[in-house]
A and B are shown apart, each in its own frame.
Chain A
Amino acid sequence: MNQLGFPLLSLILWLPAAGALALLFVPRANAGLARQVSLATMIATFLLSLLLPLRFETNPMQMAVVGAPPVMQFVEEVPWLPIVGATYSLGIDGISLWLVMLTTFLGPIVTLSTWDSVHKDVRNFQILLLILQTAMIGVFVAQDLLLFYLFWEFTLIPMTFLIGIWGSQNRIYAARKFFLYTFAGSVLMLLALIALHILHRDAIAAVEPGFRGTFSFSQFVSDLRAGRLTLDTTTERLLFGAFFLAFAVKVPLWPFHTWLPDAHVEAPTAGSVVLAGVLLKLGGYGMIRYNLTLFPAASQWAAPALAVLAVIGIIYGAAVAFAQSDMKKLVAYSSVSHMGFVVLGIFALNAEGISGALLQMVNHGLSTSALFLMVGVLYERRHTRELAEYGGLWKVMPVFAAFSLLVALSSAGLPGLNGFVGEFTIITGAFRSPLLGWIYVAFAVGGVVLAAAYLLKLFRSVFMGDVSQPANATLPDLNRRELTAFALLSIPIVVIGVYPAFFFAGMQHSVAALVADLIAQAAGS
């Protein structure tokens, strides 16, 4: 298969970290150089990652083989901690492909946004941003559970500092809340992970004496599917729950969402963009990769209840977003609503739902990042996020208004733009899922109506009406960097809306294989 002769994934993974290392040699005072090095690293990473979809086999095998582990591509495997069977093992499949691309694509845009928003200790900010980039890519490409867990936890540290050092007034509180809340979630995952390791070791050691255990994801999956490792119902559900909790906090699924508005409000623009753009997706990715794949029976068991939480999140997030007067909070709560769609799609447990959820994660990453950039643009100019302080900017900043409208419509799910395709595919999945059904969807489409309500409220308050505040009358329109960032984001927003089949094609095989196994497990148990 597509072996390239050089470790592509490792390069993509470690390039940002190498950039961070290089930044250590840049003088602290030279902010401009630090930004340029960071931007160059991010661009190089993105360009390198373009090889992934180019060389990706959309259909690595003719048929999905039930019982086989997920087919990974660009695989790398090096022994790491042989004493516990942990390996440095990387690989991607259709489930992680577009999420990796999303991460590398947003990298340069995030760095661009720091030009105007970060003026304090620029070098260290860029270092943290680059480290964060490596950690996030690591979560998506790691195929060893221990490695995955390391990357997973490592995303927390730079993000906490980004909020805690470069945030606004209440930053320490928000950083601490963010860290503790998400960390508390992941500790349970660590326990579950170790439990899985021990259970697996014991089960296999009974057949093959001397087996020292493993953390290899594909090993777990193949042994689970082959019946060499069986979990009794209670254990499976407990393990499922422990993994799920970590992911649910990250997504965030209602009612685990309250860290999100605080973190967003306090975080600098770049932090919010990374947080909304990629970090939340780690949760959704984790649910698909680990919960559904490792614990299919428990997934079936829990799906209706979790879908209820997702639907509550859709409506609740939208209603609360509508009532906000702080723009960042509004966008933050809109994330709760949109990620509710993602969880709903995942637990539809069919091909439409899961591929819709995957696409919607990418969509949400694009449009919500753009929304946060939009708030950032305003904040840089006026240093307030209150809706009431704005109005009539359509006249003052027409180009900015045009992009903002596009982004708001994409987030509101206008057909022809990306958000609609994801949402519609998700609700198709939920509608057809034997576990869920039309009643879930009937509520979920309420979220579609409300999304239009709060996004148009945002747009109207900022851009329509007369220029009531004299300070707004002379605001400059987008500068070249901001224009570049918005223009770059607009490309996938339109392309995914018009030609999503291309993106679906990449994930098709992996999702089909996953669903085939879910069905097989359901039939077997």
Chain B
Amino acid sequence: MELLIWLIPLLPFIGFLLNVFVIRREREAGLVASGVVVAAFVVTLIAVAMLAGMPPEERRIVSTAWEWINTGSFRVPFAIMFDPLTAVMALLITGVGALIHIYSIGYMHGDPRVVRYFAYLNLFVTMMLFLVMANNLLLLFLGWEGVGLCSFLLIGFWFERKSAGEAAVKAFIVNRIGDAAFILAMLAVFTYFGTLNFYGDGEGGQIGFLERVSDIAGLRIGPDWQPIFVSTAISFLLLIGATGKSAQFPLFVWLPDAMAGPTPVSALIHAATMVTGGVYLMARTEALFTASFTTQGWVAWIGAVTALLAGTAAMAQWDIKRVLAYSTVSQLGFMVAACGMGAYVAAIFHLLTHGIFKALLFLAAGSVIHGTHDTQDMRRMGGLKDAMPITFRTYVIGALALAGIVPLAGFWSKDEILAHAISHGHTPIFIILFLTSLLTAFYMGRQVALVFFGTQRDPGYHPHESPAIMTVPLIVLAVGAVIGGVINLPVLHWLTDWLEPVLHEKAGEFNIWLALIATIGAVGTGYLGWWVYTTNAARIKIGGKDPAYRYSGDIWEGMEEAWYLDRLYQRTVVAGFEQLANFLARVFDPQGVDGLVMGIGRFFGGLANGVRALQTGYVRTYALVFTVGVLLVLGVMLWFAR
């Protein structure tokens, strides 16, 4: 069993090694890369079945490979584990991952660097699996940074484009800011618990820090006038880490730019898996978060604010992928808000369903881009429903699921979050999230109308349906988006029960009134979005303004620019740092620090010049000086030898 769970991350890793060192042909690369991920999915299924065969409270397998770091009192094993929470994450990663690998065979066909693409993709799956399977924070961090690296490589995959290189670097550095906080959190955890392990490894009797969070109850650090609870400090630092990876306010600015990567990458990394890493982290360390009332408030509000901000931004985008990118940020905000309200099961439920339908939407958008010869501007689309029937149908299913229309997957998971917000008295959060869910329906209606309805606005290309290797994964995901909600239907609550050993939650009440109102709202606004952009289709010009711009004016522009947050950072943080660095490098270092050194040097140089004047070259002068010197030395010696 221990060997079996090692196979899960190792299989894609073998695929990575093969693609780097052995394989040179496109066809083999795609087959091997997809094959290993499918195999990993099968192994995960077997592991899940075995896990399900164990008594609920014993459902955790921990396996240590070797002692990773071992110095002084600082010990970290290279250890992975498999428990119900990891299991669902691993299923999502390998399942959706496998479909995206297969889809990529068609999407990337003919690209000159396709072997490298599949190598990166395999490495990504490996690192993502380490992220969710790690039994300590440090190994989780290895996966965390590893997926960041793969994200960098894949965003910058078409590195010839300037925007791709910039977006890749931006993604990595913005994530690093979160990672710095993550590092501090790890140090604090280690200082207060003496271990970074989540759970004990079953040997030696040592237990992990998640099992004894009560150790730090009531402990405070900080200055006397404003002490904070240790639990607040640690969880808040972890929260900052999560805002980086899960693209939350104020660090979400990298995700929309990340769309410069190939579309299957956006589906896998920037929708279904990597960006959910922060949510997973919060669910995994739920014990730390729930110990701090303060942090939980921050988590909930950050999630809600992000959801609303990104939801409004998604409404005003023209790029088919940027709509989905902002929508992803917004939906991640739902998950984070759910974590903040203590609804961890709902967060994971939404994470899973969102992973399926957002991957579907991205892949379908990729199919649109593929079929329209790299068109991404929705103003140049329109009327594609006849040319691309399968893409159209699957896209609509994805859009309905995202909008939360009953009985699709997104409805159930979103409803669970909203119901929790009401029943636990988080009214302001509920109002924001409810509003956002209406916006979600609106912009999906708008997008479907712009892409698939009306007439083709740019006659410069001939749209065509994508090959079967791309449409079959779409259909599979569409089926998932329809029935995915079944895993945690209000009456069955399978997921809640399955996660009970880890997250210790009981199923919430199903709120029929809320479900009704939410559905009516979503249908209404979704239809509104579709109606506005089909009736006004004639007003949409390539490169022109949105019809809504006439009524909202600059507000629309603000939404389009995501409320100028990115520009604000560019002009303050980035420009400020560049100025400072330039000042230090061009002025302070050569003139200040080095100037001081050279000044001292010159002082002695001047002294030496004075001394040089004494060197006359006359032997008699030297003889005189020599004699005087000897006499002086002798005199001193005699004086001391008295």
Residue positions of A touching B, CB distance < 8 A: 177, 180-181, 255, 257-259, 316, 319-320, 322-324, 333, 350-352, 355-356, 392, 394-395, 409, 414-416, 420-421, 424-425, 427-429, 431-432, 438, 441-442, 445-446, 448-449, 452-453, 456-457, 460, 463-466, 498-501, 504-505, 507-508, 511-512, 515
Contacts and interface: CB of A to CB of B under 8 A. Distances in A.
A446 B72 contact: no
B378 interface: no
A438 B189 CA distance: 12
B597 A431 contact: no
Contacts of A432: 187, 190-191
A428 B593 contact: no
Given A319-B577, A323-B586, A351 B71 contact: yes
B581 A180 contact: no
A80 B560 CA distance: 79
Contacts of A456: 152, 169, 172-173
A322 B160 contact: no
A58 to B, nearest CB: 12
A449 B145 contact: no
Nearest to B75: A501
Given A258-B597, A320-B581, A320-B589, A504 B142 contact: no
A355 B169 contact: no
B190 A464 contact: no
B358 to A, nearest CB: 28
Contacts of A350: 72
A448 B593 contact: no
Chain B interface mostly helix, strand, loop or mixed?
Answer: helix
Give the interface centre of B168, B596, B597 by most chain A CB atoms within 10 Å. B597
Contacts of B307: none
Contacts of A507: 71
A352 B71 contact: yes
**Lowest 8 CB-CB distances: which A-B pairs, in order?**
A351-B72, A464-B165, A323-B585, A258-B594, A323-B581, A415-B142, A464-B159, A445-B180
Contact of A448 (B179, B190, B596): B179
A154 to B, nearest CB: 23
A445 B160 CA distance: 32
Contact of A452 (B173, B188, B190, B596): B173
A11 B264 CA distance: 58
B184 A442 contact: yes
A464 B160 CA distance: 6
Contacts of A465: 159-160, 162, 165
Contacts of B584: 316, 319-320, 323
Contacts of B187: 427-428, 431-432, 438, 441
26 contacts: A177-B601, A319-B577, A319-B584, A320-B584, A320-B585, A323-B584, A351-B73, A355-B71, A392-B159, A392-B160, A395-B159, A416-B142, A425-B74, A427-B187, A432-B187, A432-B190, A446-B180, A449-B176, A460-B156, A460-B165, A463-B159, A464-B164, A500-B69, A501-B66, A511-B72, A515-B72
Contacts of A427: 183, 187
Interface in B377-418: none
Nearest to B585: A323
Given A415-B141, A442-B184, A501 B160 contact: no
B149 interface: yes
B585 A324 contact: yes
A259 B184 CA distance: 33
A356 B160 contact: no
B599 to A, nearest CB: 12
Give the interface centre of A416, A420, A442, A512 by most chain B CB atoms within 10 Å. A416
B309 interface: no
Contacts of B191: 431-432
Given A258-B594, A352-B74, A501-B67, A416 B585 contact: no
A337 B273 CA distance: 34
Contacts of B160: 392, 395, 464-466
A348 to B, nearest CB: 10
Contacts of B582: 323
A453 B66 CA distance: 32
Given A323-B585, A415-B138, A415-B146, A421 B184 contact: no
A319 B580 contact: yes
Interface residues of B, number: 55
B177 interface: yes
Contacts of A395: 159-160
B589 A258 contact: yes
A19 B74 CA distance: 43
B572 to A, nearest CB: 16
Give the interface centre of B74, B78, B190 by most chain A CB atoms within 10 Å. B74
Interface string B70-112: 1111100010000000000000000000000000000000000
B578 interface: yes
Interface in B583-640: 584-586, 589-590, 593-594, 596-597, 601
Contacts of B142: 415-416
Contacts of A323: 578, 581-582, 584-586
Contact of A464 (B68, B156, B578): B156
Contacts of A452: 172-173, 176
B534 to A, nearest CB: 40
A464 B584 CA distance: 27
Given A416-B146, A428-B187, A431-B187, 10 more contacts: A181-B597, A257-B593, A320-B584, A324-B585, A355-B72, A414-B146, A438-B187, A448-B179, A501-B67, A511-B71
Nearest to A180: B601
A284 B423 CA distance: 60
A343 B186 CA distance: 22
B585 to A, nearest CB: 4
A438 B166 CA distance: 33
Nearest to A395: B160
Contact of B184 (A438, A453, A498): A438
A372 B613 CA distance: 44
A222 to B, nearest CB: 25
Contacts of B144: 415
Interface string B119-152: 0000000000000000000100110111001001
Contacts of A259: 597
Give the interface centre of A257, A324, A425, A428 by most chain B CB atoms within 10 Å. A428
